[in-house]
A = this chain, B = another copy of it.
Amino acid sequence: MKNYCFGIDVGGTTVKLGLFSTAGELLDKWEITTRTENFGENILSDICEAMEAKLAEKEISLDDIEGVGIGLPGPITNDGTVLQCVNLGWGTFNVEEKLSEMFRGIKVKAGNDANVAALGEAWQGGGKDYDDIVMITLGTGVGGGVIINGKILTGYNGGAGEIGHMHVDDNETDSCNCGRKGCLEQFTSATGVVRLAKRLMNNTDKETKMREFGENITAKDVFDLAKEGDAGANEVVETMGTYLGTAMSHIAVVVNPQAFIIGGGVSKAGQFLIDAIKDKYRETCFAACGDAAVHLATLGNDAGMYGAAAMICK
């Protein structure tokens, strides 16, 4: 194994780049803008330029680089083919081959960003003591990643770990972004928690301090109020926790992980959130699969870079 590798997390707005030691230390990180114009034709060349500049700055030879891992916001097959990255403007091509050609033949591994973040947490974050984890990212949407024996489970067409779109409610009337109704994401993402809060405020006359925030209430406000003992906010958190805990019990009987790692903006609510979901998970889950640890993610926005590096040097 050589001494260094790059771990790159490509988002729709910025590309996060990390220079890692292959032992797992993040040595330097920086960002560049994601130029999505003209079907994102500059994205890979911008990344190559940024890496070349970093090698020059640090006086590191390319011979000392083990490879480049890259996380992308869309489904990727096992052979490195991007099926469609709508946020980047990309169509279908083999991103591993393309980036390798552009960066002097270096080894490249590509993965879906949510899966790659899960691998990052499994390598150096909240899941580093475990081989088999499921990560659940509660952000604007809900993402997921399944890590088995320390490797990403991709699934047949890159859809493994798409647990934000698990169907959890037959009676939901609002549509999810995916077009279906009743997806986990509609109840447990930051947006979903706000939706539950507004629904409670609009459809009941319960007294709750959430009303002081009105239409601008955020998921953080809901959790802050719940921690202070506000009954309405606690009802929202309990509903959210019931959906998520039950979904975790579904996941557990399929892949039986050692640990669930909970990340994303909503996870800043901390142990209070973990407590809200853990009990429901244990309560609904088949006993043999119900004892997985439930931890917070620890790498924050760096998880994608860590996971990208892990695809190369873990």
Contacts and interface: CB of A to CB of B under 8 A. Distances in A.
B286 A162 contact: yes
Interface string A143-173: 0001010000111111111110111000000
Interface string A274-309: 000000000011111101100000000000000000
A257 B254 CA distance: 12
B157 A288 contact: yes
A277 B303 CA distance: 38
A23 interface: no
A179 interface: yes
A286 B251 contact: no
A161 B288 CA distance: 11
A156 B250 CA distance: 15
A74 to B, nearest CB: 10
A132 interface: yes
By Cβ-Cβ distance, the 3 closest A-B pairs, closest first, are A155-B256, A165-B286, A159-B256
Interface of A: 75, 132, 134, 146, 148, 153-163, 165-167, 178-180, 182-183, 246-247, 249-258, 284-289, 291-292
11 contacts: A146-B254, A155-B255, A157-B288, A158-B256, A158-B288, A159-B256, A159-B288, A159-B289, A160-B255, A163-B254, A255-B255
Given A159-B256, A250-B254, 10 more contacts: A148-B148, A156-B258, A159-B289, A160-B253, A160-B256, A163-B253, A165-B253, A166-B249, A167-B246, A251-B254
